[in-house]
Amino acid sequence: MIDTVRRVGAVRLLRLALTTCWAAFSGCAPLNSHKTVPESAALVKREGPLRSPYSDASPFTPGVQQVQAVDAPKPLVMTGELTPEVVIEQVLARNPTVAQMAAAVQAAAARYPQVTALDDPSFSSWVAPASLGSNKVNDSARFEVSQKIPFPGKRALRGDAAQSQTTAARYDLEDTKLQLVESVRTAYADYYLAERALEVNTESSKLLAEFKRNAETRYQTGQVPQQDVLQADVEIGRQREARLGIERARAVAVARLNTLMNMAPETPLPAPAKELKSPARLPEVAVLREAAMARRPDLQAIKARLAADTASLALAHKEYYPDFETMAAYDSFWQSADDQQRLRPQVGVRLNLPLQLGRRQGAVSEAEAQLMQRRATLAQQQNQIAFDIQQAYAQVRESEQARKLYAETILPAARENVKSAQSAYVTGKVPFLNLIEAQRSLIELRDRAYLAGADYERRLAALERIIAGPVPAVGPPQEKPKTPPKSLGAGSDDPDGAAKEK
C-alpha cells in the first residue's frame, strides 16, 4: 500500500515538475517564423518588388516567404495566326523548367523556419535504486527539463542568410523566365523564316513554270534550242529539292515551339504572322547598360547571395561566443527519511567553452574567402553584361540596316531585273540563261531579306534578354530648327544674295 502511494505521488510530482518547467521556459518558445521574418542583409538593393517583364505573375517581395506554385497550364487558343506573345504566355504557364525553379524557391523558403527555431527542449529523469525502500533516506529521484539557447544574434543571422538565399532563388526563377522568352522568340523567328521560305519557293516554282511554257512555245516555233526547256526543268527540280530542306526546318521549328509549351512535338500550330514588326529606334548604349544593371535578375541573385555570405561571416564571428542551456529540475536526492519536502526545485545554466580557436578561425577565413569570391563574381558579371550589351547592340543595328537595305534598294532592283530579262527573252534579245540567272538572284535575295528580318528578331530577343526586359522606348529624333541663311553681301556667289543687293 505504501509503495502504491509513493508511486502515485511520484507521478503527480512528475506532472507538476513538467508543468512548472514548461511555464518557466514559455518565454523561450521558438520564433513564429510565419509571422516574423527578418529583412535580408542591406547588400540586396531594394528598388520595389520584382516583376517579370514577360508575365502577369504577382510581384515578388524578398521579405515574404510563401511562394505560390506555378499556375495550371492554360489551353492553347488557336487563332488566325500565331504570335510570339501567345507562345510566351503558354510557355511561362506550361514549361516544366518554370515549375522546377518555383519548387527550388519553395525549398529555399522552407529553410528559414528550420534555421531560426530553437532546439526541442530536453527532459531527463533518473533515480537512485538503493534509496527505494530505504528507511534512512527518501526515494531519490530527479526530473529535469532543459532548453538550449544560442548566443543572442545567432538565430537572426541564420535567418538573414536563409532569407537571402530564398531571394536569390526567386531571382534565379526570373532569370530562367528571361531565357525561356529568348528561346521562344528565337524559335518563332525560325518558324517565320521557314514559312516565308516556303512562300518564296512556291512563287518561284510558279514563275519557273511560266518560264518553261514560254521556252516550250519558242522551241516549238524553232526560235530557241531544246536546252532552254531542259534548263527550266533543272531549275524547277532544284526548287523542289530546296523545298525539302525548308519543310524540314519548319518541322523542327514547330517541334521546338511545342516542346517549349510542353506539348507533343508534332502538334499542329497556326501559321506565323505575315510580317514582322517594324524595327524600333534603339536608345544609346549607355541607356541600355543602365537598364541592364538595374533589372538583371542574375545580378540581383549574386547580390542576394553576397548578403547571405555577409551574414555567414558575421555568424562565424559569433561562434567565438558561448551558447547557453537553461535547466529547471526537481531533486529528492540525499534527503533523510523524516524530511517532509520530497522534491526540491533547482534551476541552472550550462554553457559551452569556445576554446577550439583553430576551428573557429578556419570558419572565419572560409567565410571571408567566400565573400571575396562572391564580390569578384559580381564584378566579373557586370563587366560581361557591359560587353554583351555592346555586342548585341552592334548586331541589332547591323540587322536593322540590312533589313532596310533589302526592302528599299536590293529587292526592288532584283524584281525589275527579272521583269526586264523576261521581256528581253520573249523578244529574243537575251538567252534563256540570263533569265534563269536573274530569277536565281531574286530567289536568293528574297531568302536573304527574310533571313535578315529573322536575324533582327533573334538579335533583338538576345538584347532584351541581356537587359532583362523590352528595349526602352525612344521618341522620334527632333529636327533642328531652321535658321534663315545669312546674307553673303555684294560680290557673293549666292544668286539670291546678289539679287537682294541689286
Say if residues 174 and 52 touch (Cβ distance below 8 Å).
yes
Say if residues 118 and 26 touch (Cβ distance below 8 Å).
no
- All structural domains of the chain, each given as residue ranges with its CATH number in brackets, are 2-47+75-466 (1.20.1600.10)
Mean pLDDT for the stretch of residues 180-194 = 95
Say if residues 305 and 126 touch (Cβ distance below 8 Å).
no
Q: What percent of the chain has pLDDT over 90?
A: 52
DSSP string, 397-412: HHHHHHHHHIIIIIHH
Give 336's pLDDT tier (boundaries 50, 70, 90). low
Sheet containing strand 122-127, edge to edge, reads: 122-127, 141-149, 324-331, 344-351
Q: Is the pLDDT of residue 3 over 90?
A: no
Give 62's pLDDT tier (boundaries 50, 70, 90). very low
For the ranges 26-40, 123-137, 306-320, 371-385, the lowest mean pLDDT is seen at 26-40
Mean pLDDT for the stretch of residues 259-284 = 88
pTM over the 0.85 mark: no
**Over the stretch 166-185, which tens digit does the pLDDT of each residue have?**
999 999 999 999 999 999 99
Give 431's pLDDT tier (boundaries 50, 70, 90). confident
- Give the separation between CA 129 and CA 132, rounded to whole angstroms: 6
The three grid cell numbers given for residue 129, joined into one nine-digit string: 535504486
- Give the separation between CA 191 and CA 196, rounded to whole angstroms: 9
Say if residues 246 and 198 touch (Cβ distance below 8 Å).
yes
Q: Is the pLDDT of residue 104 over 70?
A: yes
Give 218's pLDDT tier (boundaries 50, 70, 90). confident
CA angle at residue 61 from 59 to 63, to 5 degrees? 160
- Give the separation between CA 315 and CA 154, rounded to whole angstroms: 6
Please report, as a single letter, which amino acid is at residue 276. L
Sign of torsion, CA 266 270 276 280? negative
DSSP string, 61-115: -TT----PPPPPPPPPP--SSB-HHHHHHHHHHH-HHHHHHHHHHHHHHTHHHHH
Mean pLDDT for the stretch of residues 396-401 = 92
The alpha carbon of residue 349 and the mean position of all alpha carbons in its chain are separated, in whole angstroms, by: 50
| Cβ-Cβ contacts under 8 Å for 382 (sequence gap 6 or more) | 293, 299
Say if residues 291 and 467 touch (Cβ distance below 8 Å).
yes
Give 338's pLDDT tier (boundaries 50, 70, 90). low
DSSP string, 243-304: HHHHHHHHHHHHHHHHHHTTS-TT-----B-SSPPPPPPP--HHHHHHHHHHH-HHHHHHHH
Q: DSSP secondary-structure letter at 31?
A: P
Q: What's the chain's average pLDDT?
A: 80
The three grid cell numbers given for residue 381, joined into one nine-digit string: 558579371
Say if residues 363 and 319 touch (Cβ distance below 8 Å).
yes
In the Cβ-directed half-sphere of 302, how many Cα atoms lie within 13 Å?
A: 18
